A and B are shown apart, each in its own frame.
Chain A
Amino acid sequence: MPNVVELKNINKVYGENTPNPTQVLFDLSLNFEESSFNSIIGQSGSGKSTLLNILGTLDKATSGDVVINGKKTQDLKANELSTLRNESIGFIFQFHYLLPEFTAIENVLMPYKISKKPITEDVINRANELLDIVGLSTKKNNLANNLSGGQQQRVAIARSLINNPKIILADEPTGNLDSDTTEQVYELLREINLKFKTTFIIITHDRHIAEKADRIIEIKDGRINLDIKK
Chain B
Amino acid sequence: MKLAFQIARRFLSSAKKQTIVIILGIAVGVSVQVFIGSLISGLQKDLVNTAIGSTSQITVTNKDDKLLIDNYEVVINEIKNTSDELIYVTPTATRGGGSLIKDSSRKELLLRGFDLTEANNIYKFTNKERLISGRLPEQTNEVMLGIGFKNAYEKNNINLELGSTITYEYTPSDSIELTIVGFFDLGVNQVNELWGITPLETVFLINGTQSISSVEMQVKDEFLADSIALELDQVLESSNLVTTNWKIEQASLLSGLQGQSISSLMIQVFVIISVVLGIASVLAITVMQKSKQIGILKAMGLTNKDSALVFLFEGMILGVFGAVVGVLLGLGLLYSFTTFAVDQTTGQPVVPINIEPSFIVLSAFIAFFASTLSALFPAIRSSKMTVIEVIRNA
Q: Which residues of A contact B (CB under 8 A)?
A: 53, 56, 58-59, 78-79, 82-87, 91, 93, 95, 97-102, 110-111, 113-116, 159
Q: Min CB distance, B43 to chain A, in Å?
A: 48
Partner of B394, one of A95, A110, A111: A95
Contacting A at CB under 8 A, from B292-343, are 292-293, 295-306
Q: Please indicate the chain B residues that have their CB under 8 angstroms from the CB of A82 in the complex.
A: 298, 301-304
Known: A58-B388, A82-B304, A101-B7. 5 other contacts (CB 8 A): A53-B391, A58-B299, A58-B387, A91-B300, A159-B300
Q: How far is the CB of B253 from chain A (nearest CB, A)?
A: 58
Contacts A58-B388, A82-B303 known; A101 to B11 CB distance under 8 Å?
yes
Q: Could you give 9 example pairs across A and B, Cβ below 8 Å?
A: A53-B391, A79-B303, A83-B301, A91-B299, A98-B296, A99-B10, A100-B14, A113-B6, A159-B300
**What is the minimal beta-carbon distance from B389 to any residue of chain A, in angstroms?**
10
Contacts of B299 in A (CB 8 A): 56, 58, 85, 91, 97
Assembled-state Cα–Cα distance A90/B386 (Å): 17
| B295 neighbours in A (Cβ, 8 Å) | 97
Task: Check A78 against B301 for contact (C-beta < 8 Å).
Answer: no
Q: A58-B391, A95-B394, A100-B14 are in contact. Are A86 and B301 (CB under 8 A)?
A: yes
By Cβ-Cβ distance, the 9 closest A-B pairs, closest first, are A86-B301, A101-B14, A97-B296, A58-B387, A111-B300, A101-B10, A85-B301, A82-B301, A59-B388
**A37 → chain B closest CB, angstroms:** 22
Chain B residue at smallest Cβ distance from A49: B391
**B230 adjacent to chain A (CB < 8 Å):** no
The reply to whether A53 and B301 contact each other, CB–CB distance below 8 Å, is no
B interface size (C-beta, 8 A):
26
Number of A-B contacts (CB under 8 A): 67
Q: Does B269 contact A (CB under 8 A)?
A: no
Q: What residues of chain A lie closer than 8 Å to B388, measured between beta carbons?
A: 53, 58-59
| CB proximity of A91 to chain B, nearest CB, Å | 5
A53-B388, A114-B3 given as contacts; is B14 within 8 A of A86 (CB)? no
Taking CB atoms, residues of chain B closer than 8 Å to A53 are 388, 391
Q: Which residues between 345 and 378 of chain B lie within 8 Å of chain A, taking CB atoms?
A: none
Give chain B residues whose Cβ lies under 8 Å from the Cβ of A56: 299
Say whether A97 contacts B303, CB under 8 Å. no
A53-B388, A99-B296, A101-B293 as given contacts; A114 in contact with B301, CB under 8 Å? yes
Given contacts A93-B391, A114-B297, contact A102 B10 (CB under 8 A): yes
B residues 12-28 near A (Cβ < 8 Å) are 13-14
Residues in B with CB closer than 8 Å to A78 are: 303-304
Give Cα A205 to B337, complex, Å: 70
Residues in B neighbouring A111, C-beta threshold 8 A: 300-301
Complex-state Cα separation, A131 to B10, whole angstroms: 22
CB of B181 to closest CB in A, whole Å:
79
Collect the chain A residues with CB atoms within 8 Å of residue B301's CB. 82-87, 111, 114-115
A85 and B300 contact, Cβ closer than 8 Å, known pairs A58-B387, A59-B388: yes
Once bound together, how far apart are the Cα atoms of A28 and B302, in whole Å? 29
A116 to B1, alpha carbons, bound, how many Å?
9
Once bound together, how far apart are the Cα atoms of A58 and B296, in whole Å?
11
Residues of B within 8 A of A114 (CB): 3, 297, 300-302, 306
Question: What residues of A have a CB within 8 angstroms of the CB of B297 in the complex?
Answer: 99, 110, 114
Per the bound structure, the CA–CA distance linking A115 and B300 in Å amounts to: 9
- A82–B386 Cα gap in the complex (Å)? 12
For A85, the chain B residues whose CB sits under 8 A away are 299-301
User: CB-CB < 8 A to B7: which residues of A?
Assistant: 101
Give every chain A residue within 8 A of B6 (Cβ-Cβ). 113
Task: Tell me the minimal C-beta distance from A171 to chain B in angstroms.
Answer: 8
Contact indicator B3/A113 (Cβ below 8 Å): yes
Write out the residue numbers on chain A whose beta carbons fall within 8 Å of the beta carbon of B300: 85-86, 91, 110-111, 114, 159
In the assembled complex, the Cα of A53 lies from the Cα of B394 at a distance in Å of 14
Distance of A59 Cα from B297 Cα, bound (Å): 15
